[in-house]
Chain A
Amino acid sequence: MLNDITIGQYYPGNSMLHRMDPRVKLVLTFVYIFSVFIPRNWAGLAIAAGFLIFIIILSDLPAKLIFKSIKPILPLILITSALNIFYVSKGVPLFDWGFIHITSQGLVTAVFIAIRILCLIAGSSLLTYTTSPTTLTDALERLLSPLKVIRLNVHELAMMMTIALRFIPTLIEETDKIMSAQKARGADMESGGVMQRIRALIPILIPLFVSSFRRAFELATAMECRCYRGGEGRTRMKQLHMRVSDVVYIVVMLLLAAGLFILNFILKPAL
């Protein structure tokens, strides 16, 4: 069952979001995150958040999945909001008791931050839910390939990522086996203080390291046998082609960003 855990938890589907060119998706996710921080008024914030909800619906992803991605950072949101509520001193004072001063501006700031963080996390999770790790790595490689000019070996980085992703389930399985074998010899991983538990990891980590190095060596040999010699001269079977729909998405997102920006000048700022 551990084998089914993949980084970012790709959720297969056929929505427009799934079918979007991954390079476009990646870039637009960043544009969206940037856009979320533009609005300084309620209308703008509502539009940014509303846009996200609209996209979520279009993605055919179950709401439960989105909540799952938000859950871990709720504590963070609460803390940040609390900090803002208690420490922002601008605006109309609302509540005074001892050293607790709550102002209207504090509340507004807290809400803005909370919504922004929520949108940021949910928006990023949309990316990882609708794009498989391999496709993401691929998109990153192609997007960053112009950086070759500053001697950044983009291909090698992408290759490293792909191999890492490929071997994570294998390594998890191997760790499991090593743990079982050491437990069968009486290794105790449960009891004792911190130092003892750390020491108890040695019979797991050393064999794992040794086997990983051996694996790496064998894999490198196998890759050389298949004529690998870095990114030079390599072609790709899977070609990415931008389609008209992708262009439309880009335009829409740019309009959103621009619109939010303009709204800042038209409407009175809340922040």
Chain B
Amino acid sequence: MSVIEALNLSYTYSPGTPFRKDAIKDISIKIDQGDFIGIIGHTGSGKSTLVQHLNGLLRPTAGQVLLNGKDIWKQPKKIREIRFKVGLVFQYPEHQLFEETSYKDIAFGPANMGLDSDEIDARVRRAAGFVGLRDELLQKSPFELSGGEKRRVAIAGVMAMQPEVLILDEPTAGLDPKGRNTILELIKEYQQENGSTVLIVSHSMEDIARSAKKVLVMNHGRVSMFDETSAVFSRAAELQSIGLAVPAVTRIFMQLRQQGYNVGGNAYTVEQARDRLLPLMKKGGVHRA
């Protein structure tokens, strides 16, 4: 059974006013337990609106969100509980830090769940471990930490709720290459160790290509594609037509195929490209008549 599902989900901002905006239209998708999904789409395609429905921050104008088969809005007064099961890390999450110590900030989520202090402690340390936060940093004020450390504290704060589904909105925004790698690696490890379902919203095709197993492509509020990563990136021309850039190696492969070379399907990481090309290449070069 799918862990989280959207059924004919639609959301309109400011209905009935001149500022009305259809953010998402008629979205139906099934996400299975343990999936690692990348969500891509141009700005305004509805990615953020969609994920805010999955954790009950936004209430659908039409359609339903099902968590383990149950409509999350069946009991509107209990919607907070959904947010503990579907954890959402916003973009630039370091802006939400407020507690005296990083420990307390990470504990905010679990504390809101009403857990006892032993359980909270265990969860905080576990989450801190996942994001690679050293013990001494836990006792410092979050405002004393570096940008990268702050971000990891914020992510730990959501992981500490031990949600079934973890959603991260642009987790690598504003980071340099080293920082990006660190965050992506820790997300991958988290997913592998816990077997939890993870969704990453990103503008970086390279990031998605490296981590996600499935890709959801949004375009103007609707789902354009939802398939295995390799399948989605093989439709490079389509992606380009809806304004999304494909990784450079994909473009290289597209060009080679256009010129008539049989290089197989598309590659989207450098490692893939190298492995695919090597057997086809002649080391001494090719003599051209």
Contact = CB atoms under 8 A, between A and B. Distances in A.
Interface of A: 1, 4, 174, 177-178, 180-188, 202-203, 206-207, 210-211
B80 interface: yes
B83 A203 contact: no
Given A1-B19, A203-B98, A184 B57 contact: yes
A188 B77 CA distance: 11
B87 A184 contact: yes
Contact of A178 (B19, B57, B96): B96
16 contacts: A4-B19, A177-B90, A177-B95, A181-B95, A182-B96, A182-B108, A184-B57, A184-B88, A184-B158, A185-B161, A186-B80, A186-B109, A188-B80, A202-B98, A206-B98, A207-B95
B52 interface: yes
Interface string B89-122: 1100101111000000000110011000000000
Contacts of A182: 96, 108
A202 B96 CA distance: 11
B113 A186 contact: yes
B13 A211 contact: no
Given A1-B17, A177-B90, A183 B83 contact: yes
A211 B150 CA distance: 14
Contacts of B190: none
B81 to A, nearest CB: 9
A186 B97 contact: no
Interface string B22-38: 00000000000000000
B73 interface: no
Contacts of A180: 52, 57, 90
B233 interface: no
Main secondary structure of the interface of A (DSSP, over half): helix
Given A180-B57, A210-B143, A186 B19 contact: no
Contacts of B13: 1
Contact of A203 (B87, B108, B161): B108
Contacts of A1: 13-14, 17, 19
B166 to A, nearest CB: 11
Given A1-B13, A180-B57, A207-B95, A185 B112 contact: yes
A1, A4, A183 pick with most chain B CB within 10 angstroms: A183
B13, B57, B96, B112 pick with most chain A CB within 10 angstroms: B96
Contacts of A4: 19
Contacts of B89: 184
A186 B84 contact: yes
A159 B177 CA distance: 39
B162 interface: no
A182 B154 CA distance: 11
A207 B96 contact: yes
B171 interface: no
Nearest to B88: A184
Given A4-B19, A185-B83, A186-B80, A211 B109 contact: no
B157 interface: yes
B108 to A, nearest CB: 6
Contact of A181 (B19, B84, B90, B143): B90
Nearest to B19: A1
A249 B98 CA distance: 54
B55 interface: yes
Contacts of A181: 90, 93, 95-96
Nearest to A180: B57
A33 B35 CA distance: 68
Nearest to B80: A186
Nearest to B98: A206
A149 to B, nearest CB: 44
A97 to B, nearest CB: 50
Contact of B98 (A184, A186, A207): A207
B276 to A, nearest CB: 41
B17 A185 contact: no
A1 to B, nearest CB: 5
Nearest to A178: B96
Nearest to A177: B90
